């Protein structure tokens, strides 16, 4: 399994914050491929899969945002009823708890990936190594970059 990183930003939940964050990414030429926003009591965590995590992290940090990078798994799902159930069943049998999740679709209606945030990612990778699940594979010319990102 290859490494996939997620950019997470902790921010106040108020009008204009999403605009400021996404402007930093847009100005840097970073393409957003998936997003998750969760908020509680006036604060939120925005999680992004982007085509250039290191650049996104650097630019957001420079602008004063509270940002982190962490590894996640992108598990291929069949885009039909029961697709998520099949992935969830394997994770459950392997006793892997999902902390957070959202969907990433790289090619419209062809492939979908469940992006899962797991507490012990290395343990999960070992447990899933010989499973029937498929994962997003990255190469030097990343599939994420080819999906539409345009560096400035």
Given this model, what pLDDT does residue 152 score? 39
Average pLDDT over residues 129-135: 86
Structure tokens at 43: 């604060």
- Residue 139 domain-assigned (yes or no): no
pLDDT digits (tens, 9 = 90+) for 13-52: 888 999 999 999 999 999 998 999 998 888 999 999 999 9
Q: Is residue 96 part of a domain?
A: no
Q: What is the CATH number of the domain that holds 28?
A: 3.30.2130.10
* Domain of residue 49, residue span: 4-70
Domains held by the chain: number: 1
* Position with higher pLDDT, 140 vs 41: 41
Least confident of 48-62, 102-116, 119-133: 102-116
Query: CA-to-CA distance for 65 and 50, rounded, in angstroms?
Result: 17
Helix (H, G, I), strand (E, B) or coil at 2: coil
């Amino acid at each position: 399994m290859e490494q996939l990183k997620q950019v997470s930003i902790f921010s106040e939940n108020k009008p204009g914050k999403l605009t400021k964050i996404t402007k930093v990414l847009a100005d840097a030429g970073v393409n957003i491929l998936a997003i998750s926003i969760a908020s509680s009591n006036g604060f939120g965590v925005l999680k992004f899969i982007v085509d250039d995590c290191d650049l996104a992290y650097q630019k957001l940090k420079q602008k004063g945002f509270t940002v982190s990078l962490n590894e996640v798994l992108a598990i291929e799902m069949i885009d039909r009823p029961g697709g998520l159930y099949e992935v969830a069943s394997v994770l459950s049998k392997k006793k892997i708890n999902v902390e957070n999740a959202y969907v990433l679709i790289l090619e419209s209606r062809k492939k979908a990936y469940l992006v899962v945030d797991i507490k012990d990612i290395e343990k999960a990778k070992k447990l899933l190594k010989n499973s029937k699940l498929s994962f997003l594979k990255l190469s030097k010319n990343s599939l994420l970059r080819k999906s539409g990102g345009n560096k400035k």
